[in-house]
Amino acid sequence: MESLSQTREPLFKPLRLPCGLTLNNRIAKSAMSDSLGDGTGHPTAAQIRLYQRWAEGGLAVSIIGEVQLTSGYAENPGNLVLNEASDLERFRKLAQHGSENGTGLWLQLGHAGALAYAPTSNPKGPTAFNLQGLRCAEITSEEIRQLPSQFATTARLAQKAGFGGVQIHAAHGFLLSQFLSPLFNKRTDGYGGAIANRMRLLLEAIGSKVRLRQVWTRTLLPRTRKASPCCDDQASYADRRLQDACTGRRRGGKRCS
């Protein structure tokens, strides 16, 4: 019987990404927060076994969801946390086993912001809210200033530990997505208001690690339920800016507010 790598089906053909990386096929395991960390932000044996089993299945990319830059804004107490305080050897073991069989094991870099798990975290979003089910402080300008280098540090450590790439989590209502949303983001400084400002932090996070080639961004750009030309303009403006940031391209173009 033909092995997966020998079939001629398009799904099993290699795929070259714009960043230059070639994936073995077109099957990716999307990011899932697995809650399998040990509570100190480190991988467990069960987690290593899980990613090893997925790799044995022959996928090209396997993404670990919600790997935090710091422990203060976790989406879940079982999230991995990778920074200078981490024991890199334990991450190296995860990278090694989860990358077997030619799989690229990637980390999705997350920051839950206003939706950080309150009992063990410190919810802070672009704007303070005191609503039932949404209580958070406002992230300060100084904290915003530090974030891009925190993304860069975690990405650099991921590379050092042997992971194949990183995905920036800018979807699902977490911090970067909160900045993109005019409902969450009522700031009046350079990070709020027009879409160009609301996406500034995301672009800074991407820009902070352009030297790492394997960066993938996951965004759900805010759109109203009723399609409106203004929102479509904002989304396509944001899409273009994101593409440019990820490929390092510079071009002029219409600014959208």
Ligand X SMILES: Cc1cc2nc3c(=O)[nH]c(=O)nc-3n(C[C@H](O)[C@H](O)[C@H](O)COP(=O)(O)O)c2cc1C
What does the binding site for ligand X look like in residue numbers (CB under 6 A)? 30-33, 65-66, 108, 169, 171-172, 218
Name 228's Cβ contacts closer than 8 Å, sequence gap at least 6.
Answer: none
The nearer residue to ligand X, 29 or 198, going by C-beta atoms, is 29
In the complex, minimum distance from the CB of residue 251 to ligand X, in angstroms, rounded to a whole number: 28
In the complex, minimum distance from the CB of residue 29 to ligand X, in angstroms, rounded to a whole number: 8
Find out whether 149 and 208 touch, Cβ atoms under 8 Å: yes
Find out whether 163 and 107 touch, Cβ atoms under 8 Å: yes
In the complex, minimum distance from the CB of residue 34 to ligand X, in angstroms, rounded to a whole number: 7
The nearer residue to ligand X, 79 or 86, going by C-beta atoms, is 79
The nearer residue to ligand X, 30 or 243, going by C-beta atoms, is 30
In the complex, minimum distance from the CB of residue 193 to ligand X, in angstroms, rounded to a whole number: 26
Q: Strands 104-110, 61-68: parallel, antiparallel or unpaired by DSSP?
A: parallel
The nearer residue to ligand X, 159 or 177, going by C-beta atoms, is 177
The nearer residue to ligand X, 76 or 208, going by C-beta atoms, is 76
Beta bridge partners of residue 216, listed in sequence order: 167
CA dihedral 36, 39, 43, 44 (to 10 degrees): -70
In the complex, minimum distance from the CB of residue 65 to ligand X, in angstroms, rounded to a whole number: 2
Per residue, the 3-state secondary structure of 128-187, as one string, reads CEEECCEEEEECCHHHHHHHHHHHHHHHHHHHHHCCCEEEEEECCCCHHHHHHCCCCCCC
In the complex, minimum distance from the CB of residue 45 to ligand X, in angstroms, rounded to a whole number: 20
Alpha carbon distance 194, 240 (integer Å): 15
The nearer residue to ligand X, 105 or 171, going by C-beta atoms, is 171
Q: Which one, of 58, 62, 52, lies nearest residue 108 by Cα? A: 62
Instruction: For residue 229, count other CB atoms closer than 10 A to its CB.
Output: 7
**Closest CB to ligand X belongs to which residue?**
65
